Amino acid sequence: MKKFLGRNEKLQTKFYGIIACLVILLLVDAMPAFSQTSISGKGLFVAETVKPGTTFYSLALKHYGSRDFWVYIFLANKSEIHRPDGLKPGMSVVIPQAEAFGIDAANPVSLAKARELAKETGGSSLASNDMKAYESPVNDGAVTETVKPGETFRILALKHYGSKDFWVYIFLANKSEIPHPNKLNYGKTVIIPSASSLGIDANNPNSVADAIELGCKAMCESK
């Protein structure tokens, strides 16, 4: 009798164990999948509201030191922003933390990986829209200045940003009034976007290289 009861207790234990496993599986299936925003508090992502003139390029430059990493921000927000050129002012985006995702602007392998991923993702649609975004400058810290005789966009860039290569950002911010980079006349009042709003840094080689590339595009389109 004792042996039977002992066996019966073992069967009951196994039975209840199976039931418990089934319940756990059902609960797991019912749980919503983690999203980027739900784990933002765990140090993997930070949230940011998009300002006028902001692109995935400028966000990557601001947070990672190179716009080549734009693709990581785009992919982190792809469920809400389906195209690389679909970023609009007022949107809330999540920014992957560089350390958590192995993003390093000083690492050639990391940069090469980002560029390859960008090609697969469709970076051309972003690049074609990049200059247009800077034509709507962010007012955060922007100043106005009256052009003096002999001043050019390059001289203004050196004065405000520490490098002549950043001239293109001042030009694009004023393109609606000054359609050509070589048509800056003295007495004209121009908008000077703040370096922080543009995410530019004269001491950052990647930032300077991006400005040179953008400047070449601006000159070609202005011919």
Tell me the pLDDT tens digit for each residue of 95-152: 998 988 889 988 889 988 888 888 777 654 444 445 665 665 555 678 999 999 999 9
* CA–CA distance, 55 with 158 (Å, rounded to integer): 24
Tell me the pLDDT tens digit for each residue of 2-46: 444 445 555 555 555 555 444 333 433 333 333 343 333 445 788
Per-residue pLDDT at 89: 84
Tell me the pLDDT tens digit for each residue of 150-178: 999 999 999 999 999 999 999 999 998 99
Per-residue pLDDT at 11: 52
The distance between the two most distant Cα atoms of the chain, rounded to a whole number of Å, is 110
Per-residue pLDDT at 180: 92
CATH topology of domain 143-221: Membrane-bound Lytic Murein Transglycosylase D; Chain A (3.10.350)
> Domain residues of the chain, as ranges?
37-129, 143-221
CATH number given to 37-129: 3.10.350.10
143-221 and 37-129 share a CATH fold: yes
Instruction: Please indicate whether residue 53 or residue 207 has the higher confidence score (pLDDT).
Output: 207
**First and final CA of the chain: distance in angstroms?**
101
Tell me the pLDDT tens digit for each residue of 179-197: 999 999 999 999 998 887 7
* CA–CA distance, 174 with 106 (Å, rounded to integer): 33
Predicted TM-score (pTM) of the model is 0.53
Tell me the pLDDT tens digit for each residue of 47-58: 999 887 788 888
Per-residue pLDDT at 26: 40
Angle, in degrees to the nearest 10, between helices 205-221 and 56-64: 160
Per-residue pLDDT at 24: 35
Task: State how far Cα 9 lies from the chain centre.
Answer: 61
Asked whether the beta carbons of 187 and 152 are under 8 A apart, the reply is no
DSSP classification of residue 82: -
